[in-house]
Chain A
Amino acid sequence: MTASDQLQQPGKWADALDKTGVTRADSSGGPTGGPPVDGPLYEKRKSVHNKRIDGPFRRFKWLVMVVTLAIYYVTPWLRWDRGPYAPDQAVLIDLANRRFYMFDIEIWPHEFYFVAGLLIMAGIGLFLVTSAVGRAWCGYACPQTVWTDLFQHVDRFIDGDRNARMRLDKAPWGPSKIARRGGKWGIYLLISLVTGGAWILYFADAPTLFAEFFFGTASPVAYMTVAVLTGTTFWLGGFMREQVCIYMCPWPRIQAAMLDEQSLIVTYKDWRGEQRGSLKKAQKEPEKFGDCIDCRECVAVCPTGIDIREGQQVGCITCALCIDACDRVMKDIGRPRGLIDYATLDQCEAEAAGAPATPAWKALLRPRTFIYFGIWGGIGAAMLFALGTRSHTDLTVSPDRNPAFMLLKDGSVRNAYTLRLRNMEGRPRDMEIALAGLPEGAVLWTDRIGSDAAAPAQTIAVPADETRVVRAYVTVPAGSAADQFSFELTSLDEQREKDTVPTTFAMPGGN
């Protein structure tokens, strides 16, 4: 059935929309023939009070939460020995000195393509995950999900489970409600503060900045960053919650475009569940009713407060808590698990047509997943190779343009160059600069090495992890001609890294 066929059946669309609780803008019953909607077009948010649930997916979610939070809070405190000339923080984004440290990797600004590559990998990684396991990022690892989950546990800890919280919501404001709300928001704020506080530790030496932060001597930018991040965590995690996923985040839209009939989603197997009805009715007339006993457990546990039985929808972050909930119900009433389950639309269709259930992992084995994995792995391997083989030495040469050349008393001609010698090692190194391709007698000196010590090659000490700027003068003797030549840089250590930079020698009357 095509979409236009479906359009011819207004009733079906209207039903589906009514079930989702989405009110439409075509209030007068336009071409789709739906009934006019009364009441305002804007629906107020209904707070979500999701119920506690335990099960394999919930436990997995706990695990992911602990691991991701631990990574976030602990990483800045890890130390990594890089010798006396570099910071000893394992992961450090040193904006002031323009260095990015990650364990053994040190990235300079001119190597920012590594960071770009990481971001591209992250992007393709999301595609890969989406093609393999659908919105797993949303369901488990997204910071919005993790912190929302954390805050919902705080709700449960302070106010009790779903019913207690719904009651408290409706209760009038009184001392006890104020105390509870105050306590809860206090804990929110504390979590938010720790979250915002941990962020800045990635940008400076963590122990130092931590101390400075409390003594009031950290930079204003640190306090402002913490304030902003504390505020956004408090607001987005404590109050906006699922609305971020449904209204603000672009990712569900992008993912919606990426999902197809072979993507793993959380789905309610309506051919098995319908006709739904209470356990009592179902026991009375087993042939008339399906497996769903309409206990609404799946809705109660859902962190975004939706009803998965209405079908795939943007509000479903595929956290699979409804699977845990329903599996438990099915166990209690003695039916096989998986009325709500991870499955692809194709699998569902086959199953509905009577084929045996396919294990969900089979959905992973398809070309799209392999292609994404190939690209992702390829970029990763290329970056590792580039990292492993990159040179830690570099030379750039800029000839003086004004004046391009200088005639000297004895008729010799001098050109001046600005050389930048880059030492990316964490120790000072001696480097040799030599002239190649100039006539006999050409010599080199610098602003520090005087013209009396002019020679065809000079040794220059470059400090650890720095670029040394040198003003170099090159002279060719009177009567000789010069044009193209190169500066050759060699590091005078066991690495003997080289860099050769071609440049031009300007002569009077030349060019």
Chain B
Amino acid sequence: MMADKNRVDEPTGTELVGHEWDGIEELNTPLPRWWLWTFYATIAWSAVYVVLYPAWPMVSQATEGVLGWSSRGALADEMTAADMARVSTFERIAATEITKLSADPELMGQAIAGGAAAFKQHCIQCHGAGAAGYEQYGYPNLNDDDWIWGGEIGEIEYTLTHGIRWDGSDETRITYMPAFEGIFDRAQVDALVGHVLSLSGNGSGNAAGAELYAANCAACHQPSGAGDHAQGAPALNDAIWLYGKSEASIRQQILAPRHGVMPGWSDKLDPVTIRMLAAYVHSRGGGEETISDTPAAEPDEPDVAQAEVSGAEGNDRL
């Protein structure tokens, strides 16, 4: 082989490497210089890289590299930076009374956008991506103008904070419709269902039903069927039914009412996020104007410092 090395290929004047297969020989045409140098440079760089950055895979993780860089750390840094960039907006939202939020359209816009993001994370599981709820489960629609506990922005915030029939808060909104199973006979229930439907203009109703209604229901649902936000009594004289407007479903709701539970979010979300959620829900098109400046029950003033801390710890983005 060595002997062959200096043989020269006549036609091209190029040295032969000395490898031969079936009479075909390999010419020694070296790589271009620039290519070679680029190649050496990449080798040199890889040595530097191995020292600076995570490189060798070990059992549980790779070697760390003297720069201490990690993709997880880079992400955390970016998330922190994004949180920091939002802090001033959060502070402003926290410092603005929720009923005054609409006076600052720009801030309101931020709050709605933030609320929309939080809604996708925490609320769509029950209320749906379009906030339209599910009638078959009794998850209420948040787009319409029918509110059981009130559609003013402050009321919404209160509901979000303390929930409905939720064990986690002493101030939760709570009400129970009595079950009339065994109290009314079949004819009475039929009459009552007829009357309830007639409140919203469906059918003409009947005197027996009206009597039963006045005696048993009007205290909460009001004689006209308008309902009462303060007691959490749904309106019966409108086109919207939490569990559907079929006779069967109304009958069931009289005999053995279903009572949905809405969790309060005060233990999971910071007050600013709850406030933003309230702004978003209110903005869906059915929100009611605030009539009194002080909603029925003013939730505690959100604590900014606490908001930041829980904002950093309580999120589950990582």
Contact = CB atoms under 8 A, between A and B. Distances in A.
Interface of A: 27-28, 36, 38-41, 400-403, 406-411, 414, 416, 447-448, 450, 452, 473, 478
Interface stretch (B90-98, B182-190, B234-242, B291-299): B234-242
A38 B13 contact: yes
Interface string B116-131: 0000000000001111
A41 B12 contact: yes
A407 B240 contact: yes
B30 interface: no
Secondary structure class of chain A's binding surface, majority of residues: loop
Contact of A406 (B13, B129, B144, B283): B144
Nearest to A508: B239
A409 B13 contact: no
Nearest to B146: A409
Nearest to B285: A473
A198 to B, nearest CB: 30
Contacts of A416: 143, 285
Contact of A409 (B105, B239, B283): B239
Contact of A408 (B12, B129, B144, B283): B144
Contacts of B11: 27-28, 36
A414 to B, nearest CB: 6
A406 B285 contact: yes
A406 B12 contact: no
Interface in B2-37: 11-13
A409 B144 contact: yes
B145 A409 contact: yes
A401 B132 CA distance: 11
11 contacts: A402-B132, A403-B130, A403-B132, A409-B144, A409-B240, A411-B238, A411-B239, A414-B144, A447-B283, A452-B289, A478-B239
B144 A410 contact: no
A448 B240 contact: no
Nearest to A450: B289
Contacts of A406: 132, 141, 143-144, 285-286
A416 B130 CA distance: 11
Given A406-B143, A410-B239, A411-B238, 8 more contacts: A28-B11, A39-B13, A400-B130, A402-B130, A402-B132, A406-B286, A408-B240, A478-B239
Pairs A-B, 5 closest by C-beta atoms: A402-B130, A403-B132, A409-B238, A411-B239, A403-B130
Given A28-B11, A409-B239, A452-B289, A403 B283 contact: no
Contacts of A40: 13
A297 to B, nearest CB: 36
Nearest to A412: B239
Contacts of A407: 144, 239-240
Nearest to A452: B289
Contacts of A410: 238-239
B12 A27 contact: yes
A47 B141 CA distance: 80
A403 B145 contact: no
Nearest to A38: B13
A416 B146 CA distance: 17
A257 B228 CA distance: 85
A204 to B, nearest CB: 24
Most chain B C-beta atoms within 10 Å of own C-beta, residue among A406, A411, A414, A416: A406
Contacts of A401: 130
A209 to B, nearest CB: 26
Given A40-B13, A402-B129, A403-B143, A409 B289 contact: no
A473 B285 CA distance: 7
A409 B132 CA distance: 15
Nearest to A28: B11
Contacts of B129: 402
Interface string B25-52: 0000000000000000000000000000
Contact of B285 (A27, A409, A414): A414
Contacts of A38: 13
Contacts of A400: 130
A53 B254 CA distance: 107
Given A409-B240, A414-B285, A473-B285, A403 B13 contact: no
Contacts of B105: 448
Interface in B228-265: 235, 238-240
Nearest to B143: A406
B143 A409 contact: no
A39 B240 CA distance: 94
A38 B289 CA distance: 95
A38 B55 CA distance: 50
A36 B12 CA distance: 9
Contacts of A409: 144-146, 235, 238-240
Nearest to B283: A447
A103 to B, nearest CB: 35
Contact of A403 (B141, B240, B289): B141
A71 to B, nearest CB: 36
Contacts of B235: 409
B140 to A, nearest CB: 13
Nearest to B12: A27
B41 to A, nearest CB: 17
Contacts of B289: 450, 452
Nearest to A406: B143
